[in-house]
């Protein structure tokens, strides 16, 4: 059998299937690698949206934040998602409560874009009350409040 210039001698169908499966995994990993680097940006946290904690899987925290990209003159209001393993620590409270922006690596994730009206704002960033199960409402101080239908872009924190 010849596969893109590589000669493969096979003795059984299972060897061919195993070889093809490995080739697909290697190609998939190689093509995905550059996307995991993210882009360095400045982030200023405005509100905590949701904190999901699990004992067997990933934790996921979402925030309303302002994103300062090097190529943009103005701040971008966005939804920020931080997904990390259970054994890792969340973003530090000092980072969340800071009056200034913090340098983070982020990556655009269009799949989690949401209208502003659908984003639950539970507490100020870094407030431990965000973990409580009851419904909390918080209104951050914004220069311009977007209309409820305004789609906010979503970014994912890239941890290194």
Condensed to tens digits (0 to 9), the pLDDT of residues 80-129 reads 999 999 999 999 999 999 999 999 999 999 999 999 999 999 999 998 88
Q: What digits encode the pLDDT tens for the residues 38-96?
A: 899 999 999 999 998 888 889 999 999 999 998 888 899 999 999 999 999 999 999 99
SS3 27: helix
> In the chain, where are the structural domains located?
2-35, 38-157
Alpha carbon of residue 28 to chain centroid = 20
Q: Measuring CA to CA, which residue among 142, 98, 135 is closest to residue 120?
A: 135
**pLDDT for the residue numbered 132:** 76
**pLDDT for the residue numbered 133:** 73
d(CA 12, CA 72): 57
When the pLDDT of each residue in the chain is averaged and rounded to a whole number, the result is: 84
Whose tokens are 């067997």? That residue is: 56
**pLDDT for the residue numbered 24:** 52
Distance separating the N- and C-terminal Cα atoms of the chain:
42
* Cβ count near 153 (within 10 Å): 16
**pLDDT for the residue numbered 13:** 67
Q: Measuring CA to CA, which residue among 55, 49, 63 is closest to residue 135?
A: 49
Q: What's the pTM?
A: 0.74
For 157: left if phi > 0, alpha if psi spans -120 to 50, otherwise beta; the answer is beta
């Amino acid at each position: 059998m010849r596969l893109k210039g590589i000669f493969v001698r096979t003795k059984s169908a299972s060897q061919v299937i195993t070889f093809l499966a490995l080739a697909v995994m290697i190609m998939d990993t190689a093509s995905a690698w550059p996307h995991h680097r993210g882009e360095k940006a400045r982030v200023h946290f405005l509100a905590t949206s949701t904190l999901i904690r699990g004992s067997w899987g990933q934790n996921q925290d979402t925030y309303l934040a302002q994103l300062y990209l090097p190529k943009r003159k103005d701040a971008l209001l966005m939804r920020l998602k931080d997904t990390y393993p259970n054994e890792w620590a969340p973003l530090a409270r000092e980072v969340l409560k800071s009056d200034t922006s913090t340098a983070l690596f982020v990556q655009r994730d269009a799949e989690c874009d949401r209208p502003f009206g659908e984003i639950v704002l539970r507490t100020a960033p870094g407030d431990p009350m965000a973990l409580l199960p009851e419904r909390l409402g918080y209104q951050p101080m914004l220069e311009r409040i977007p209309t409820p239908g305004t789609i906010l872009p979503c970014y994912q924190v890239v941890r290194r």
